[in-house]
Structure 1
Amino acid sequence: MQLELTPANDSHCTFARDLTRRAMLPYYREYDLLWIEEAFDEAWGWREQWLVTEGDTLLGFCSLSQDRQALFIRELHLLPEHRRRGVGSWVLKELVSWARQRRLPLLRLMVFRSNPARLLYQRHGFVEMGEDECFVRMQRTIDW
């Protein structure tokens, strides 16, 4: 696999929004939350947006933000046909490296409580820091 994270631009917003909606709508329904297209589009403008690619093939995208302590994974979604082949693990390893390069001590995310991706994150060293009725907050300490 020749995977890459490449910068997304505004022309990729529709792809990313549709992929996120398809992946997350079952959880939104499960937890009785309202999907708001405008909220996604607004966040697109202030977050870092990255495409997950393999050569010329678009596999998915991830959305990041950062503060003084942590790199936050806001979204990480792959097209269904590219799941369960190590792409998500590769992205997580890359983001650990990015956090290290940015001299940030933590990599953080939130995941729906019922999302099986929790297990992927745990395998990659994320620990659960707390939860509410919908979400689990997880973080991984970055080794220097």
Structure 2
Amino acid sequence: MTYRNMRPYYQHYGVEWDEHTVWQHIQELENWDIVHLGQVIGAVRLAFDADGCYLRDLQIDAAFQNQGWGAESLQLAKRIAKDKGAIKLRLRVMKISPAINLYYRTGFGVSHEDERFYFMEQSI
């Protein structure tokens, strides 16, 4: 699902997808499946550090996008982060991603940017 969702962005920026490397990184994160009627329809991946919680990945299967699953999953990520003592939730999103609208709607602001990414955060 992550590869299907992210492929257009990786292709746009000419970034190669290395499944082995991605799998290694995922194993180091706190991973949560998003399940609807017994079917995994998404994933939330979190990392914790001295600055709080970093939302490393939020994926929703294309068939379930734009139905509120992303916003609900962000609320879950905030609760988990807050329960673990984080006071800030951060993320990085590609500038060409429509998910930027979701992040703005749910209270994230841009802290800085580079040529490809917006780095966003919000206090929790």
TM class by smaller structure: over 0.9
Is it true that 1:126 corresponds to 2:111 in the alignment? no
Partner of 1:60: 42
How far, CA to CA, are the matches of 1:128 and 1:107 in structure 2?
A: 12
Residue among 45, 55, 74 paired with 1:92 = 74
Partner of 1:74: 56
Q: Secondary structure at the match of 2:122?
A: strand
C-alpha displacement of 1:37: 1.0
How far, CA to CA, are the matches of 1:125 and 1:44 in structure 2?
A: 26
C-alpha displacement of 1:55: 3.3
Q: Secondary structure at the match of 2:26?
A: helix
Which amino acid is the alignment partner of residue 62 of structure 1? Answer: V
How far, CA to CA, are the matches of 1:80 and 1:116 in structure 2?
A: 13
TM-score in terms of structure 1 length:
0.82
Aligned-CA RMSD value? 1.1
Q: Secondary structure at the match of 1:41?
A: helix
Matches within 5 A, 1:1-144: 19-142=1-124
Partner of 1:4: none
Partner of 1:11: none
Query: Which consecutive segments of 4 or more residues in structure 1 shift more than 2 A?
Result: none
TM-score in terms of structure 2 length:
0.94
**1:72-119 deviations in Å (ceiling 9; x for gaps):** 111111111111110110001111111221121110110000101001
Identity %: 30
How far, CA to CA, are the matches of 1:93 and 1:66 in structure 2?
A: 17
Q: Secondary structure at the match of 2:66?
A: coil
